[in-house]
Chains A and B, each alone.
Chain A
Amino acid sequence: MKQERILLSHGSGGKLSYQLTQEMFLKAFDNEFLSPLNDQAIFDLSASRLAFTTDSFVVSPIFFPGGDIGKLSVCGTINDLAVGGAEPVYLSASFIIEEGILIQELRIIVDSMARTARQTGVKIITGDTKVVEKGKGDKLFINTSGIGIIRNDRTFSPHLIRPGDMILVSGSMGDHGIAILCHREGIQMEVPVESDCAPLYNLVHDMVSQSDGIRAMRDPTRGGLATTLNELAISSNYGMIIKEDLIPVKEEVRGACEILGFDPLYLANEGKLIVIASQESATAVLEIMKKNPLGRDAALIGTVVDKPQGKVLLETAIGNKRFLDMLSGEQLPRIC
């Protein structure tokens, strides 16, 4: 492409649009469903149960330590399918691009999407591009939708959760939230924090193929561990009790949280799982998780209890108990 930057004409549907699609999207995502450039992708799926999800990504900055908006957009949708026990197979990708963004930047993002999709064996088979005037967007917004196949008759749902079940996490909490925040605000830590942004299907596959004790899974994205556990508690109508001491949080993330006045339990994660497993299977599930690189730091952090219904209790580091509520509003830096 001769142009260095995205022009409004790249979204006009004319020659520049065609060029952008041919030279960027088709090259990167290359597959038999996308290449005919039809208005739709037609495919066969031999499955009786499918999962379908959609998500939009508006992160700022679009590049951050450990990832970029492209990787995030693919991981996010893959993970939403994976936690339902579905094998992600096809994605759509819609780009809303702000006039003026460097084509080279867009290329890096698109390549990152293609690489992340390949990692999980997912194909990006349909998409769309719109260009908005400078000042009318924030560089780049991406929407991805995904279809996944559920290859067995198992269901994972908060409704299956029972008292006595164990609560596990696949690794340290808050890495993505702190990475984005420090990068956005130019806060330099002695040990920089990288986002945990990763596609989790392979980890989920290891777990569900080797254990039938998993009741429910969630990826604790916005709102973090605390909010997601509250959602699970409300949906299951049981209580949850977790121990602060057992929750993995990287030293550098804790350090940044102490400085900024944030709580790592409310920070976003983009490559972590919360798993509720039956009491009998929890140790085995933990071992399976630990064998996968994405679950290396997995930990058992608590249990499901009868009461208080729909609420999460935290046993604090000094041994007292208190409620762990959902996130209210946004976490903001403290004043003193």
Chain B
Amino acid sequence: MKYIDEFRQRDAARKILEKIHGISGKKVTIMEICGTHTHTIAKYGIRNSLPSNIRLISGPGCPVCVTSAADINKVVEFCKREKDVIIATFGDMMRVPGTESSLQEQKAMGKDIRVVYSPLGALDIAMANSGKQVILYAVGFETTVPTVAATILLAREKGIKNFSALALHKLTPPAMMALLDSGELDLDGFLCPGHVTAIIGAKAYQFLAKKYHAPCVVAGFEPLDALYGLYLLMKQLEEGKAEIEIQYKRVVTWDGNIKAQRIIEKVFEICDSNWRGIGKIPLSGLRLKEEFAHFEAEKRFSLANGIDEELQGCACGKVLKGIITPDQCPFFGSTCTPETPAGPCMVSFEGTCAAYYKYGYSQYKTTD
């Protein structure tokens, strides 16, 4: 498959790995921000193939995982209260536990909650169910926002009255800044997310290089992308540089997708946002602009704020901040598995714990 097979070639992978092994013995800690990178690194066994001086840690890059317990509780409470409402949401959002319940459990109790594959799917549901209110429960980083914005514009154009969105989108660069400011981590560089950067442009990370002297490499999600991205980071670190480099040039540019940025700006404005495990990060979220207030589910239905209470003993917050790796959590692989998840990092496909468990469980928990 063009643009895929080229980036999964065994010989090329070996060559890049040899280069990484040969570059330096300097101890470094690199964070991959994006859940899809975490997944690729685990799926292709990359972590185990790197030299021991490179420590890869996973960041808060799973949109499902970083949605706060309060924001889940808010929707769960709303489901319990309202009758003629359909909640439409993306994949894993169904399974993530709030403090007492999840959308999946609400669905099992008879609430009308549906998984959609795109925001337009929610609009289709609204058009097919004119007697019911349809709420799109939308999470996601910058990648997902343009399609939600386009859906809201389309809903306005078509005059659809029974559709609204509870948009909990989050912005990546402010979270990276918050992690560095927290002083809890000693990070040497970032492997930056390809899809997010395709929208916002690599220039969005300039402040990281300038203010924090942290090199950034924007990489794609195939194994060779990730490996080459890591090589570029190691090269910068060895040379004492802190620059923004793009490995994923077939998709990412310096300025990003201007059309997508405009559509986001048209519909959304920046606001503070509450991240699971991290707390409130200034200017790290998006909310609908005043002119789209009638599409704002929170206002339309006066949604009450949910309790912001994590599950007892769950260490997902520390995993999300990269302070611990999943295998350092006492629950990992014992009380917390994909079948019986204690927290969102084990629930979501892109969650760090799920990736560690799915692709490397035995190396952490057995002697095989």
Distance of A93 Cα from B2 Cα, bound (Å): 46
**Is there contact, CB below 8 Å, between B368 and A307?**
yes
Contacting chain B: which of A74-82, A100-108, A141-149, A315-323? A315-323
* A281-295 CB contacts (< 8 Å) to partner B: none
Distance of A254 Cα from B4 Cα, bound (Å): 10
| Residues of chain B contacted by A187 (CB below 8 angstroms) | 117
Closest to B42 in A: A322
Q: Which of B10, B93, B140, B350 has the most CB of A within 10 A?
A: B10
Residue-wise, chain A 114-147 has the 8 Å CB interface mask toward B (1 for contact) of: 0000000000000000000000000000000000
A-B contact count (CB 8 A): 107
**Is there contact, CB below 8 Å, between A323 and B144?**
no
Distance of A334 Cα from B91 Cα, bound (Å): 7
**Is there contact, CB below 8 Å, between B10 and A317?**
yes
**Is there contact, CB below 8 Å, between B117 and A319?**
no
**Is there contact, CB below 8 Å, between B91 and A311?**
no
Distance of A317 Cα from B90 Cα, bound (Å): 29
**Total contacting residues, chain A, CB less than 8 A:** 30
**Is there contact, CB below 8 Å, between B360 and A328?**
no
- The answer, among A316, A319, A332, A335, for a CB contact under 8 Å with B43, is A316
Distance of A150 Cα from B217 Cα, bound (Å): 61
| Residues of chain B contacted by A255 (CB below 8 angstroms) | 1
**Is there contact, CB below 8 Å, between B1 and A335?**
no
**Min CB distance, B191 to chain A, in Å?**
15
Q: Would you call A333 an interface residue if the criterion is a C-beta within 8 Å of the partner chain's C-beta atoms?
A: yes
**Is there contact, CB below 8 Å, between A322 and B92?**
no
Q: Would you call B107 an interface residue if the criterion is a C-beta within 8 Å of the partner chain's C-beta atoms?
A: no
Q: A258-B4, A329-B95, A335-B91 are in contact. Are A318 and B36 (CB under 8 A)?
A: no
**Is there contact, CB below 8 Å, between A258 and B1?**
yes
Contacting chain A: which of B45-53, B204-212, B285-293, B305-313? B45-53
**Min CB distance, A133 to chain B, in Å?**
17
| Residues of chain B contacted by A45 (CB below 8 angstroms) | none
**Is there contact, CB below 8 Å, between A308 and B64?**
no
**Is there contact, CB below 8 Å, between B8 and A323?**
no
**Is there contact, CB below 8 Å, between B223 and A318?**
yes
21 cross-chain CB contacts under 8 A: A187-B117, A260-B117, A309-B368, A317-B223, A318-B8, A318-B9, A318-B44, A320-B44, A322-B43, A322-B45, A325-B358, A328-B339, A329-B338, A331-B349, A332-B115, A335-B63, A335-B64, A335-B92, A336-B36, A336-B144, A336-B193
Beyond A318-B14, A325-B359, A332-B92: 20 further Cβ-contacts under 8 Å? A258-B1, A309-B368, A317-B223, A318-B8, A319-B13, A322-B48, A322-B359, A325-B357, A325-B361, A328-B339, A328-B358, A329-B339, A332-B349, A334-B349, A335-B64, A335-B139, A335-B144, A336-B35, A336-B140, A336-B143
